[in-house]
Amino acid sequence: MNTLTAEQRWFYFCILVAIVIKFSLFFYIVNVIPLAFIDGDTPVYLQGAKAIHDFLINPSHGLMHNSQALPGYPSLLALFLYGFNLSIAQIVFIQIILNFVTVFVVMKIARAINPKLEKLAGIIVLLDLPLTIYSQMIMTEAIFVTVLACVILFFHRYIVNPTYQRLLLAALLLALLLYIRPVSYFLPIFIAAFVLLSGCAGSRKQGLIHVFLILLISYGACMPWQYHNYKRFGNARMSSIGDNTIQVHSFWKDSQEKKSKYGRHMPDVIYYPFAFSRNVLELLTAPGSVSPCKSRGWTVFVKIFGYGFVAFWIPGFLVGLFKGPRDLRYWLLIMIMGYFLCVTIMATGWTVTSRFRIAMLPSIAVIAAVGWFKIVSWLPNKYT
């Protein structure tokens, strides 16, 4: 009978720990404070789901969807709430299950780069508290990170074998991502630039054709929704959420307001890099918050476990950024992480929270796993 290796035992132990944490929090909310399933943005998504349901029942009245929520997540809510008659708690339960789907996809991404990485990368996703916490709310995070991980996986497969079939599948998934959260709207441009500059498509002519297809499919799929918003609201944006983020809490606006407190005597050339670095640190290290649960026990646990777990993966992440493999798939991970990091900070300024790190989680998990294996390789043999 085969016995489990130490690596396998640790992996299965971490799966058990993740299950205990996720479902303990879930059943606590169900039995003690069900309102914790509801976030400030939840009514916007529920209104969108109701509008989609009403439109399908009576299309003649038009689609009375709000201007903020993209239709991807509300469509899923409409299916669950009105198609399957699920409760809010049952929908959250499905979102928790999606976390494990995300783990599986990230492990496949890591395995493609190096089979040794997959379990550690999976553990980092499994035990990530912001993903655990925000998946317990009617919010986009659980579905968004699952689709994003699939986008990365399919573009990795395209890089290995740049066929039109693989490109179309990856681009369609990317188009789906654009319908879930507006933060991803400019991602197709960055991926297209990566494809062109890396030369992964082959010849330059082939690269230009592939770039054209990525942009055509991604933004072409957005046109019906943008047309809907233009006809109803007079603006062709995918979402009006920018009115509540960029205009209220952009990096430049927040930094100017806080300069008197944090950098009164600093010249701008020093203060703004300092402000950006401070926001990066907050984004990467915030452990998560369970304040809606109103539980001192959960709050203490999240602080201790959250900061401890961040302290674990951060060293590997930093080493992995600079000592990773010379592999286009790995560089794509870094580019996607950098995209979400910069766009998030520029849009939300000093109000960044651990919630926004979730979009970076697939990249962080693989990069940190690479870094930790590099660190271990530097240790004397007696410690490995």
Return the exposure string of 134-148: e unless at least 16 CB atoms fall within 10 Å of the residue's CB, then b.
bbbbbbbbbbbbbbb
Q: Decide if 1 is inside a domain.
A: no
Q: Decide if 169 is inside a domain.
A: yes
Q: Check if the beta carbon of residue 370 is closer than 8 Å to that of residue 113.
A: yes
User: Number of folded domains in the chain?
Assistant: 1
Cα–Cα distance measured from residue 160 to residue 138, given in angstroms and rounded to the nearest whole number: 37
Q: Decide if 341 is inside a domain.
A: yes
Q: Decide if 43 is inside a domain.
A: yes
Q: What is the dihedral of CA 273, 278, 284, 285, to 10 degrees?
A: 160
Residues with Cβ within 8 Å of 265's Cβ and at least 6 positions away in sequence, in order, are none
Show pLDDT as tens, one digit a residue, over the chain (384 residues): 467 788 889 999 999 999 999 999 999 999 999 999 999 889 999 999 999 999 999 988 888 988 888 999 999 999 999 999 999 999 999 999 999 999 999 999 999 999 999 999 999 999 999 999 999 999 999 999 999 999 999 999 999 999 999 999 999 999 999 999 999 999 999 999 999 999 999 889 999 999 999 999 999 999 999 999 999 988 888 888 766 666 677 888 888 888 888 888 888 889 999 999 999 999 999 999 999 999 999 999 999 999 999 999 999 999 999 999 999 999 999 999 999 999 999 988 888 999 999 999 999 999 999 999 999 988 886 555
Range of 314's domain?
6-383
